[in-house]
Amino acid sequence: MSSRNALVRRTSGSRGVEESAVITGAEPEPPWWSLSPERARTLLLVAARPTICGLAATVVLVLVAMLTTDTDLTSAPGAVAATWLAAHQVPLTIGRTALGLLPLVPTAVLVWLAARECARAVPPRPTPIDLGWLVAALLAGPLLLTAVCLAVTGDAAGVTPLVPPGPLTAFGWVFVLYLVAAALGIASRAWPSLCALLPVDIPGWAVLGARAARRTVLRMLGCAALATVISFFFHLSRLDGAYQQAHNVTDVLGMTLLSLLYLPNVVIAAAGLLSGAAVQFGAGSVGLFGVSAAQVPALPALVPVPAGPAAAWWPVLLLVPIAVGVLGGIELGRTSDDRPGAPWATLTSAALSTVTLLLLAFVGGGQLGAVGRVGVELPMLLVLTVTWFGVGGFVGMVFARRFLAPAAPVVDEFDDDYFDDDDDEYDYFDDEDTDDHADTETEDLDDTAVEVDAELVEDIDDDTEVTIAAPGSAAPPADDIVDAEVVEADLPEGERDTGR
């Protein structure tokens, strides 16, 4: 019996979504600058929505503050621009007062919003071009608004005593912050794809070390937050002195809100203090081994700062970072299957934990007017954290190998639903493509339909699934299930009736 041409359509998994195409030649890929309308809309939302939300919140806060304090609204544009820059950690100079110690809560909220928008727009299988467009869109909106704010602060210099910051500093802070937001958003949804784009494979011990570093930093900050709360209740009697400059209810609410905005700065300083590093307050400092001429500003957020002289039991708090380092080493020793790589994972965890705490301490500190620099001593923090986390982690790893039973590996990957929600406005891919990706993500299927020769099968329904052997094979594939749609050729009438 002669064979006839049949158009074979593959079925996609259990959903039964069919795609058919006849290979007529490889289609050229569109250029990298080509954008479909749906994709352009998505990138526009990524660029605009975090920026608009941040600007709207800034305008509302500034107007509420100015109306409650009976301030002239002619300086509102300059105040809004300065607030936007301050929320991105851009140092400001008001008159002759330098303000570099800025609250971290607005910065964290803006970075979270941007990372969430970026995560929602990540395609299922991103390419480097897709990720490049996404990062560029996320950076475009804030950088554009920063340029506008710099122009406004320059024009408002005659109305307000605000000195416009340097463009390089302003654009640098905004660029770095939103680049971090883009990295967090993309990694939360496409971490395996990012790893696949790297030119070299990431060693297993490096991944374990990075996960352990994340847990180490969170534990250290958690202990610092607990110590801050305990110290606040121990020094609760100083709270009245912190509100001495408040003359009415509005001042009390303003100082309370300002203290809440500075709360992450206080927790980061407490983490440095627990590590053994001193916290500078201008020419003075506060540490576990002594307090020297520290002029602490009268702010409710600084009530937990211990007053001198240093007690004899304060150095006992060094057990906190040591215990955190040992605990991280014990986890690596129990969960790592790579015995030669476990020491390298421990060193990686110590290095990444130290770098993270250094960056947080750098961002959480700065100049504070006449007081001077306020923040953790960074060189001392570097030496101490490497020692506690490195040596302590190595001791914990050796102890776990010798005396503790192995445990199941700790799975601590990015949560795909952390930045996710039910909004589907970013689904600029076809529904069938999305469903196919969900159903066949773990299968290695060839999505291209092929035109093959197959025998004519009489009385085939449209929904009947048959298996067709590939040309030259003795038996049909066991796993490939296809639908065959017979295409009648222009044959003579006799052959069409007899099937020959």
Band of pLDDT at residue 102, cut at 50, 70 and 90: very high
Give tens-digit pLDDT for 472-488.
Answer: 444 444 444 444 444 44
Higher pLDDT, 304 or 452: 304
Q: Is 253 a residue whose pLDDT tops 50?
A: yes
Q: Which of 13-17, 96-100, 288-292, 374-378 has the highest mean pLDDT?
A: 374-378
Count of C-beta atoms within a 10 Å radius of residue 362: 14
- Give 219's pLDDT tier (boundaries 50, 70, 90): very high
Its pTM stands at: 0.74
Average the pLDDT over each of 280-294, 359-373, 402-416 and give the range with the smallest value: 402-416
229-238 confidence digits (pLDDT tens): 999 998 888 8
Tell me what pLDDT residue 443 has: 44
Q: Hey, what are 457's tokens?
A: 């099968």
CB under 8 Å to 119, separation ≥6 — which residues?
Answer: 184, 185, 186, 188, 189, 418, 419, 420
Mean pLDDT computed over 201-216: 87
Share of the chain above pLDDT 90, in %: 38
Q: Stretch 297-302: mean pLDDT, rounded?
A: 84
Q: Please give the average per-residue pLDDT across 385-408, as a whole number.
A: 84
What are the residue boundaries of the structural domains of the chain, listed by start? Answer: 1-27+428-500, 37-201, 203-415
Q: How does the average pLDDT of the chain come out, rounded?
A: 77
When mean pLDDT is compared across 41-50, 53-62, 66-75, the lowest value belongs to: 66-75
Q: What is the pLDDT of residue 463?
A: 47
Per-residue pLDDT band at 470 (split at 50, 70, 90): very low
* 472 vs 199, higher pLDDT: 199
Q: pLDDT tens across 108-154, in order?
A: 999 999 999 999 988 887 788 888 899 999 999 999 999 999 999 88
What average pLDDT does range 300-329 have in this prediction? 89
Token readout for 71 is: 């301030």
pLDDT, tens digit, 9 for 90 and up, residues 61-92: 999 988 888 787 888 888 899 999 999 999 99
